Chains A and B, each alone.
Chain A
């Protein structure tokens, strides 16, 4: 029951928020998302006592083709659900003290998005998973289209079509999996045991990989991203970068590696090379970006490239690193985009050349921004370090030279992040800035919580390892061709 409740509550919350009217919407959405967080915490306590079995839910749905409502929550899913339900209240709170038109629709869509994301991470039936995957695209599409920046229409269209095209490939892949597996079902247990002929796994790999690579995004499938991040409203960008792109990396672990191990054995080396090239490529581009949001977008491409590389390294430290880094990146990137929003809110510009000296006016903001930046450049004792260390170690075990190349990220990351920080925060106050009030109460809470998590997870990541371990071990066993 807890499984259904955990999944269904955000949908209920979304409907209630829509009905509550524009005045109440934001407050109601916040309260309901906090309740969802509490439910998640409760789910965690159950997980601690009873393990993943407690969350097994199975209900026949359509008999032909055989599609069922199979939900589950193992360690991996639990962590992703926890990330989603932890970030959603922060994302909602970040919209406080901002003018948002048609607020009921806006917050309702955010919660609908939360529903879809929870579904993606909990679905254990391929078709059900696919439905949630596509469902997640709808709210974010409308959020970006109706509340986005001046250039939103073409940018959003491109984003929508691009990711949809990838998804269709995946749908095709699922249908083929359905026919190829002896039980003819979409159930994850059947798919994991399908042992599909290696001759077919090669091209099936691409139907899934392309869908995920566009979503993550892995270079060269990333060109929708920077513009979309720039045009979407802040909360949309946070949802996209903080949670939605983890759908891609999560799905690599859940749906690609264990089902198509022979395909991964065949094409994995190419995939990991793409990821690593993408890390350096995106980092180098980030160095010269003038637009703060675009800079962060490219830095995000570099970070998720490393996450994907660690996954394709096919070893435990790469897997563990990817999970920690999914959480870390989710938290950090939301923090970074919020800092960008705080700056834009007060100065009306995101061009880092016309900023500068904000530290003089807003010392609290400076400190919290700095902590988020440090998490992002993976300083030890921040969450980013745990992830990057394990990911690079995973890639190292896969191939030494690849890890040297991927390791450039720790140098380049410092270059672009510190340059960005210096141009925006340090130096004398830019003449474009007349006033810069320090953080408002909601901003203090959001950034404060994020900063605390950055350090906590960096100092004591062990609970995350413990939760993820059994699920990852199972996936790892399935992913390696014996």
Chain B
């Protein structure tokens, strides 16, 4: 017992420091940033994250995979009936997320030093970025749903602040507001889910909730309601159908923000939340089915839109939505650790891709349209090499990280549902195709921009290329964490997470694992499909040298895809406009005409009564006597009749 306490206490200091350091960075830069030189502010913010990363590494080295450590800070919302503590929980799942957040967070901070160097708001940028990391850390470190919710809404705020970072531009401001409001729709689901949990289980602590839940009958109404509501929250934050339209617009923010918040960390919070609640979800197979359908649909839908986008960041944004769909599909299949594994590999290659796109944009002085790029591979070789490697990884090129994490999800799909496997395979092929459409149009062929721009193209400085290289290496070798059983190696990742995912195993229907030969066949098929898609893209965009058609000339399905299936327009017509009309209607008709007029009518009626009764005050004694006699007669008659 005492050993346990001693052991736990070793984690208190680093456990508190992990979120505290970014908070301190935020406070210093936020309060005194204007007195600091820009370079000092950026390096301060970056070192804060480095500090958090080192603390995380310490925790990772010392924490046994079966351990979970709780750190109680103080009672937060606590009175007779409710007791919600401000507490942290450190277990393998938290550690995985911590490593991703602080590790990639550090690299992106480093990158931003170079990338944001010339921006006048650089101090403000790093202030927000530190605040984001702080909230993201709270999100994954909380020991109960409400602390998770602090982080959940907090990262939403930072996302709002950073999407609208260049606040003079109203389109960016609109994108920021849209992100916040759409997330709030999901958050209402999350909040209601918490009410269900708190009311029925009397606690929001993960462990206690899972324990209480496991006493219920699987698929009971309560469990389905809770998990569906939580999933609504996840749909908002992780940009799933139908709440995904904010994410492509969120690309208005500076590119490091897109890499950190809108690819590697924040948008994966929904997956984290489901994995964190894996017992609840495993006990509600109906919800898992819903997640599977939403995930698969999002994966294909976003991939198809990605085919026709011409903004380098928009392509990556839709790719992110599509990959998140894939992760949710994994969760829907009950493959929680596979979903998390893809979160990690995706963080590597997608961060690399976004930062690479930033390097391209940087080199071209802000140009984001791939139709005005081309032939950049010689001019910015490091960016090119890292970008194409990460593209291979995301496309599932054999033996790279994405290949293994995707293959694992596809294998689960094959075991359970061949149709899902088929759709996800198609989605993967589309991904490989549009990613290499992007690569070929950007780096191959000849430059299609102006000569003036071309003259100034140069490779980015080392603070930019270093993170690219680091992420590129991770994208290549990240797969080692999760080798399939064919390789006769331990699946390090799944083993590490097993203490978290184990409790839900009891409630999941066990599918017969596919044989090694079948698995090899699947892997071979996936590999060939990826390579074929890449080859097909090569034929189309390099050998034939095709260019994306002008949007105005598109017809039929292509026009629909290019316009993102008019979903934004639909939301505008179906939700936004009616809401504005309703607002006016309430104001003009209900408020002014009905309610206020009634109030005034009462006042008018009182006035009227006064005016009428005043007429009786004639001052004429004869009239008064007459009225008195008349009243007496009337009263007498009433008395007689009654």
The docked-state distance in angstroms from the alpha carbon of A458 to that of B258 is: 29
Q: Which residue of A lies closest to B582 (CB)?
A: A284
Question: Are the C-beta atoms of A411 and B81 separated by less than 8 Å?
Answer: no
A427 pairs with B170, CB closer than 8 A? yes
Task: Give chain B's interface secondary structure class.
Answer: helix
- For the complex, is B75 an interface residue (Cβ under 8 Å from A)? yes
Residues of B within 8 A of A158 (CB): 603
Interface set, chain A 434-482, CB cutoff 8 A to B = 460-462, 465-466, 469, 473
Chain A residues whose CB sits within 8 angstroms of the CB of B169 once the complex forms: 427
Q: How far is the CA of A414 from the CA of B184 in the complex (A)?
A: 8
Instruction: Determine the residue in chain A with the shortest Cβ distance to B86.
Output: A459
Q: A396 contacts the other chain (Cβ, under 8 Å)?
A: yes
**Complex interface: stretch among B186-194, B205-213, B304-312, B612-620:** B186-194
Contact A427 B582 (CB under 8 A): no
B579 within 8 A of A: yes
Question: Which residues 302-318 of A sit at the B interface, judged by CB distance below 8 A?
Answer: 315-317
Encoded as 1 (CB less than 8 Å from any A CB) or 0, chain B from 593 to 635 comes to: 0011001000100000000000000000000000000000000
Report the separation of the CA atoms of residues A461 and B199 in the bound assembly, to the nearest whole angstrom. 21
Taking a contact as CB atoms under 8 Å apart, the answer to whether B596 and A161 are in contact is no
Contact between B583 and A285, CB atoms less than 8 A apart: yes
Known A379-B153, A466-B79: A460·B168 in contact at CB below 8 Å: no
Given contacts A285-B591, A410-B184, contact A403 B195 (CB under 8 A): yes
Chain A, range 282-315, C-beta contacts under 8 Å to B: 284-289, 315
Most buried by B among A320, A411, A419: A411
B185 within 8 A of A: yes
Chain A residue at minimum C-beta to C-beta distance from B581: A288
Contact of B79 among A222, A320, A397, A426 (CB under 8 A): A320
Contact B583 A379 (CB under 8 A): no
- Residues from 370 to 392 in A contacting B, C-beta threshold 8 Å: 374, 379-381, 385-386, 389-390, 392
Q: CB within 8 A of A422: which of B82, B173, B582, B584?
A: B173
* Chain A, range 347-384, C-beta contacts under 8 Å to B: 357, 359-360, 374, 379-381
Whether A380 pairs with B77 at a CB distance below 8 angstroms is no
Q: Does A206 contact B (CB under 8 A)?
A: no
Cβ of A181 under 8 Å from chain B: no
Given A284-B586, A317-B82, A461-B77, verify A397-B199 contact (CB < 8 Å).
yes
Q: Among residues 383 to 441 in chain A, which have CB atoms less than 8 Å away from a CB atom of chain B?
A: 385-386, 389-390, 392-393, 396-397, 403-404, 407-408, 410-411, 414-415, 418-419, 422, 426-428
Beyond the given A317-B82, A380-B150, could you list 14 further A-B residue pairs with CB under 8 A, ordered by the A residue number? A224-B599, A281-B590, A284-B583, A287-B583, A288-B587, A357-B168, A386-B77, A393-B198, A410-B184, A415-B181, A427-B169, A460-B74, A461-B77, A473-B80
Give the distance in Å from the alpha carbon of A342 to the alpha carbon of B590 in the complex.
Answer: 32
Q: Which B residues from 566 to 593 make CB contacts under 8 A with A?
A: 579-580, 582-584, 586-587, 590-591
Q: Is the CB of A316 within 8 A of B81?
A: yes
Contact A223 B599 (CB under 8 A): yes
Q: Does B346 touch A at the CB level, under 8 Å?
A: no
Write the A34-45 contact mask toward B (1 if CB under 8 angstroms, else 0). 000000000000
Check A389 against B191 for contact (C-beta < 8 Å): yes
* Distance between Cα atoms of A428 and B167 in the complex (Å): 8
Which residues of chain A have C-beta atoms less than 8 A from B599's C-beta?
162, 223-224
Q: Within the assembled complex, what's the spacing in Å between the Cα atoms of A379 and B311?
A: 33
Q: Is the CB of B79 within 8 A of A316?
A: yes
Known: A288-B587, A379-B157, A426-B164. A410 touches B79 (CB 8 A): no
Q: Across the interface, name the chain A residue whose C-beta is closest to B584.
A: A288
Assembly CA distance A414 to B179 (angstroms): 11
Q: Nearest-CB distance from A17 to chain B (Å)? A: 35
Q: Is the CB of B167 within 8 A of A390?
A: no
A65 within 8 A of B: no
Also in contact, A414 and B188, with CB within 8 A (given A223-B599, A287-B583, A465-B79): no
* Distance between Cα atoms of A374 and B580 in the complex (Å): 23
Q: Residue on B with the closest CB to A280?
A: B586
Residue of A nearest to B84 (CB): A389
Instruction: Determine how close the nearest CB of chain B comes to the CB of A413; give it in whole angstroms.
Output: 8
**In the complex, are the beta carbons of A426 and B173 less than 8 A apart?**
yes
Once A381-B154, A462-B75, A462-B78 are accepted as A-B contacts, the answer to whether A418 and B181 lie under 8 Å apart by CB is yes
Contact count band on B: 35 or more
A73–B187 CA distance with the chains assembled, in angstroms: 39
- Which 4 pairs show the lowest CB-CB distances between chains A and B? A288-B583, A380-B150, A223-B596, A465-B79
Is B231 an interface residue when CB atoms closer than 8 A count as contact?
no
In the complex where A317-B82, A426-B173 touch, is A396 in contact with B195 (Cβ < 8 A)? yes
Contacts A284-B582, A427-B167; is A396 near B199 (CB within 8 Å)?
A: yes
For A397, the chain B residues whose CB sits under 8 A away are 195, 199
Determine if B76 is an interface residue (Cβ-Cβ < 8 Å). yes
- Residue A21 lies at the interface, judged by CB distance under 8 Å to chain B: no
Interface residue? B404 (CB, 8 A): no
Contact: B583 with A381, CB < 8 Å? Answer: no
| Closest Cβ neighbor of B586 among chain A residues | A285
CA distance A426 to B177 in the complex (A): 12
- Given the interface pairs A284-B583, A317-B81, the reply to whether A410 lies near B191 with Cβ below 8 Å is yes
Q: List 6 A-B contacts (CB under 8 A).
A: A379-B154, A393-B195, A410-B191, A422-B173, A427-B167, A465-B79
- Is residue A220 contacting chain B, with contact meaning CB distance below 8 A? yes
In the complex, chain B residues 160-185 whose Cβ is within 8 Å of any chain A Cβ:
160, 164, 167-170, 173-174, 177, 180-181, 184-185
Shortest CB-to-CB span from A457 to chain B, Å, is 12
| B149 interface residue per 8 A CB criterion | yes
Closest to A366 in B: B167
Partner of A288, one of B81, B187, B580: B580
Complex Cα–Cα for A222 and B587 (A): 12
Does A392 contact B595, Cβ atoms closer than 8 Å? no
Task: Say whether B185 contacts A223, CB under 8 Å.
Answer: no
Considering the chains assembled together, what is the distance between the CA atoms of A337 and B185 in angstroms? 27
Task: Count chain B CB atoms within 10 A of each CB in A224, A380, A404, A462 and give the residue with the most.
Answer: A380
By beta carbon, the residue of chain A nearest B596 is: A223
- Shortest CB distance B191–A (Å): 6
Which of chain A's residues have a CB closer than 8 A to the CB of B199? Answer: 393, 396-397
Q: How far is the CB of B610 from chain A (nearest CB, A)?
A: 13
Binary flags per residue of B65-78, CB closer than 8 Å to A gives 1, else 0:
00000000011111
CA distance A466 to B174 in the complex (A): 42
Q: Are B170 and A396 in contact (CB under 8 A)?
A: no
Cross-chain contact B191 with A381 (CB below 8 angstroms): no
Q: Which residue of A lies closest to B172 (CB)?
A: A426
Interface centre among A220, A288, A396, A410 (most CB of B within 10 A): A288
Q: Using Cβ atoms and an 8 Å threshold, which residues of chain B touch A390?
A: 77, 82
In the bound complex, do residue A465 and residue B586 qualify as a contact, i.e. CB atoms below 8 Å apart? Answer: no
Which of chain A's residues have a CB closer than 8 A to the CB of B579? 284, 287
Q: Which residues of A contact B154 (CB under 8 A)?
A: 379-381
Give Cα A226 to B185, complex, Å: 28
Write the chain B residue with the least CB distance to A374: B157
Chain B's closest residue to A422 (CB) is B173
Contact A426 to B153, CB < 8 A, known contacts A220-B595, A284-B586, A288-B587: no
CB distance from A313 to the nearest CB of B (A): 12
Are B177 and A422 in contact, CB atoms less than 8 angstroms apart?
Answer: yes
Distance in angstroms from B138 CB to nearest chain A CB is: 9
In angstroms, Cα B590 to Cα A284, docked, is: 12
- Give Cα distance in the complex from A418 to B595, angstroms: 28
Q: How far is the CA of A316 from the CA of B596 in the complex (A)?
A: 35
In whole angstroms, how far apart are the Cα atoms of A466 and B184 in the complex? 31
Complex contacts, B185 vs chain A, CB 8 Å: 411
If A389-B191, A462-B76 touch, whether A223 touches B591 (CB-CB below 8 Å) is yes
Interface residues of A in 214-263 (CB under 8 A from B): 219-220, 222-224
Partner of B586, one of A161, A281, A379, A426: A281
Query: B188 to A410, Cβ gap below 8 A?
Result: yes
Q: How far is the CB of A228 from chain B (nearest CB, A)?
A: 13
**Nearest Cβ on chain B to A412's Cβ, whole angstroms:** 9
B154, B583, B595 pick with most chain A CB within 10 angstroms: B583
A428 surroundings in chain B (CB, below 8 A): 168
